[in-house]
Structure 1
Amino acid sequence: MKILLTGVTGYIGKRLLIQLLEEGHHIVCSVRDKNRFGLNLFKEKLNQIEVIENDFLDESTLNNIPKDIDTAYYLIHSMSSSDGDFKEKEKTSADNFRVALENTNVKQVIFLTGIINEEKLSKHLESRKAVEAALASSIYGLTSLRAGIIVGSGSASFEIIRDLVEKLPVMITPKWLNTKCQPIAIRNVIQFLVGVLGKE
């Protein structure tokens, strides 16, 4: 299967790429900067990898997306944006992605998002919900997987918890500590992301 993978330089994308390559898929890695990708790490799988440069905030950079892709993973987020306007950037990125993908043969788009189970959502979850709506299309099937805190060595959540435990053996906890969450291990997230592949 030919798969477009966005967010491939991120925590989840890197791990997903390894699994998809192991399963024999041809992966088109969409990155903003080819120099950050590290293609030399995949010497034995070079015949399965194609790297293209795209910035989904700039629709003029999206013309090089292959038309013959079967599935695409949307693992893009703008939470690291320094100007604070991540919600608008996330919506623009999702809109540009959908329009670009509608001009391909893609049958399924897979989106990893947050758990949305309350009427009053944080700005982050409101943005994720808007992205999910923006990705929906009548041209392809959209599979949305909703996860809480993703835990694994190297993840932001794991590193924050580890730092707190190592540096503060005793602490007065903030009120938000009473918020319930449903953590999931990174290996399980990868299992689900691969498990829904081809199930339009």
Structure 2
Amino acid sequence: MSIAENLKKIKNELPEKVTLVAVSKTKSEKKILQAYETGHRIFGENKVQEMTEKWSSLPKDIEWHMIGHVQRNKVKYMAPYVSLIHGVDSLKLLREVNKQGRKHNRVIPCLLQIFIAEEETKFGFDEQELQELLASNELEELSHVRIKGLMGMATFTDNKEQIRKEFHSLKTMFEVLKTVLPDISILSMGMSGDYKIAIEEGSTMVRIGSSIFGARS
């Protein structure tokens, strides 16, 4: 099926409250434009340099989401335009985003990445670190950052019950966070292989690449 057909199929399956981020990392501008021509406007990249190159040459009404692990020294390149940073996994990174937001006179929307998987390769705050961050006054002082919600990645496994358990734990943390930050609205969890389980567990944003653009080349 074509990119347009894949997009239409997935969007028809998604509940209205769920936002689709089309993961366009490593994909050509031509393929992104094929998705854009269907009316889709939200794309996710995992490398700042690649995203910045695409931002500079593709239509300016695209919302670019940074979904990969972010190095602090790369924040300055995306600070002028990024619509949402999914993977804020440390207070140091949050401070850097705030600093770059101030330089560009922007409030940059961010998600706190939570470590829910059983893989050491994943990044994120654990539950205790999240509690410590909320207990400090640090978030209130970061006036150029807006926390919009949480993001997490489940373990890469065929065990659906484990995936469900991990997503459920993230949803629980989201509900706790909402009591402290009532304006949060985004729970970003679920990718091509597990987004249906994620939606059942309360996801409001899914990151789908291969099911739209085809397998990685």
Please classify the TM superposition score into its range, dividing by the shorter chain length. Answer: 0.3 to 0.5
TM-score (norm 2): 0.35
TM-score (norm 1): 0.37
Structure with max Cα Rg: 1
